[in-house]
Structure 1
Amino acid sequence: MDLQGKVAVVTGATGGIGQAICRLFKESGARVIGIHKHIKKEDEVENGIDYMISTVTDYEETRQAVEEIIEKYGKIDILVNNAGINRDAMTKNMTEEQFDKVIATNLKGAWNVTRFVGPHMQQNHGGSIINISSIVGVYGNVGQSNYAASKAGLIGMTKSWAKEFARNGGNVRVNSIAPGFIKTKMLEGMPEKVLAEVQKKISLGRLGEPTEIAQIVLFLASGRSSYITGTNINANGGMTL
């Protein structure tokens, strides 16, 4: 799955899944631009990955970042909308701020970036957009109504964009992935007992690795998936069978 000559943009680039995607893209020959609101020194020295500080929730800042990338690299062939946060609480206890922040980052943030990248790809008659959703966006979860809404909305936008950006010879493919429970910092706050119970429900008997999600992203970014668009791939180890 060769990405030689491709320019790839990954949001939420320094998180567990984002980092795995950036590294795999780089290994596959792509020029990778990792976008994150905070960049640590150890991230800056990541060989072969160009990091950019930008906040996906800020419309104007996002526009400027996309324009800067296109001016510097000439094009964007691949976009991975991976930036995401959680602010969990039961609905009766959830604050307006908790709800709004999750929707702003996970849903509107993806819209902000795609608002500028999608038409650019369409003009260039090709590209691949991959949205990182969640098992929670497909099946829901107690205490995560805000997160579920944002990730379900991302799947809906995926299907709409797949129709929209393919029009008039646009040839832009848009797909989403709904990971199950993956070993990232997002799980660090979960008690071990709860994680153990979760693991029992997974057919493969274990949590997923960020690299396993990155492999699916690579497939969807590459020419190997040239006839796949508007699809959501569930990657949860058989948790929902």
Structure 2
Amino acid sequence: MSGLFISFEGPDGAGKTTALNKILPELKSKTSREIISTREPGGSAIAEKIRDLILDVKNLEMDDRTEALLYAAQRRQHLIDIVIPALNEDKIVLSDRFVDSSIAYQGGGRQIGIEEVASINDFAIEGIMPKLTVYFDIPSEVGLERIKKDRSGTEDRLEKEKLEFHQRVRNTYLELQKQNPERIKIINANQDPTKVALDVLELILNKFPRVFE
């Protein structure tokens, strides 16, 4: 596949979606290649239906392993419907979350096991990984406070988890970065959103100078 795959990761409230939306017009202006912006869970019709199941606050009885399997299932469908076709057509794919989210949230946060969740997803992704993962790091307390301020009363099933859950998620992300320093690059998300977006833009432009001119 000749396309370029970049993922955006981070704990809840890190502001990765906001930053992605801010830099998208600038990235489009600096390349002749088509840019596809997508998300997980979801991104395609079937995957979006699975997303609704996972995040519905009414599904409190959902088993942790069921949750992990559903994430892997939507990821597979997302790859088949969106990511792989775009990469085969030499497009640039920017995905708001990918496999690292499952390892951090279900492997670390739910304490199912990092290796166990990675194994489930290895089957789903068949070796397809981003060339760059932008990780937005922020203290769990700050991220949760942002969510309460911005979406009070409308938090999804994972956002409503206790602080300890989110701290485990962040710690797992940081461990993943240590294990994959060439692919996963850290952005300080505990800054003004405009500064965060500028840092992300600079990172991507410097990483792929032949793609973005």
TM-score, scaled to structure 2: 0.47
